[in-house]
């Protein structure tokens, strides 16, 4: 899908995993081997990189899933515009999201985004 930004030779691939019995996509670096066991996700000892983005990383802000196209865009441009939803205001809003070594993806909260930019 794109080059990993946190190690030399890794690239990001899609993996279909299950968490709590639910299928979910994990976008992970090829140098990161994740072990999913008993609802705990651990990095194997052989891994040399830990970068990954869970498909539902932005669920807390009511974005159900991050699509493969969004991930490709993010890896290429290091920033994408994401559509989020405020259940309090009952309206959607847009924010920039960037790569984050620890969380995979993070939202830039203090920057106002007018509307979704064509990407
Ligand atoms: Zn990597």
The predicted-structure confidence for 53-92, as pLDDT tens digits, reads as follows: 999 999 999 999 999 999 999 999 999 999 999 999 999 9
Mean pLDDT value across residues 89-103 = 95
* Confidence at residue 16, expressed as pLDDT on a 0 to 100 scale: 93
* Confidence at residue 38, expressed as pLDDT on a 0 to 100 scale: 73
* Banded pLDDT at 114 (limits 50, 70, 90): confident
Domain locations along the chain? 2-113
* Confidence at residue 31, expressed as pLDDT on a 0 to 100 scale: 96
Instruction: State in Å: Cα 69 to ligand 1 middle.
Output: 19
Quote the pTM value: 0.88
* Confidence at residue 113, expressed as pLDDT on a 0 to 100 scale: 92
Helix (DSSP H) and strand (DSSP E) numbers for the chain? 1, 9
Tokens of 51: 């970068």
Pairing of strands 34-37, 79-86: unpaired
* Confidence at residue 92, expressed as pLDDT on a 0 to 100 scale: 94
CA atoms of 18 and 51, how far apart (whole Å) = 18
pLDDT digits (tens, 9 = 90+) for 9-50: 999 999 998 888 889 999 999 999 988 777 777 899 999 999
Q: Which residues surround ligand 1, an ion (CB under 5 A)?
A: 4, 6-7, 10, 29, 31, 49, 51
* Confidence at residue 1, expressed as pLDDT on a 0 to 100 scale: 95
Tokens of 1: 């899908």
Instruction: State in Å: Cα 107 to ligand 1 middle.
Output: 21
């Amino acid at each position: 899908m794109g080059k990993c930004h946190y190690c030399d030779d890794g690239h990001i691939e899609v993996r279909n995993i299950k968490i709590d019995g639910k299928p979910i996509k994990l976008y992970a670096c090829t140098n990161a081997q994740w072990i999913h066991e008993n609802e705990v996700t651990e990095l194997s000892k052989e891994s040399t990189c830990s970068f990954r983005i869970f498909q539902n990383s932005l669920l807390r802000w009511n974005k159900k899933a991050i699509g493969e196209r969004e991930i490709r865009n993010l890896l290429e441009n290091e920033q994408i515009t994401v559509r989020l939803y405020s259940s309090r205001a009952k309206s959607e809003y847009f924010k920039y999201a960037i790569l984050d070594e620890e969380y995979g993806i993070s939202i830039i909260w203090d920057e106002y985004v007018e509307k979704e930019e064509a990407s």
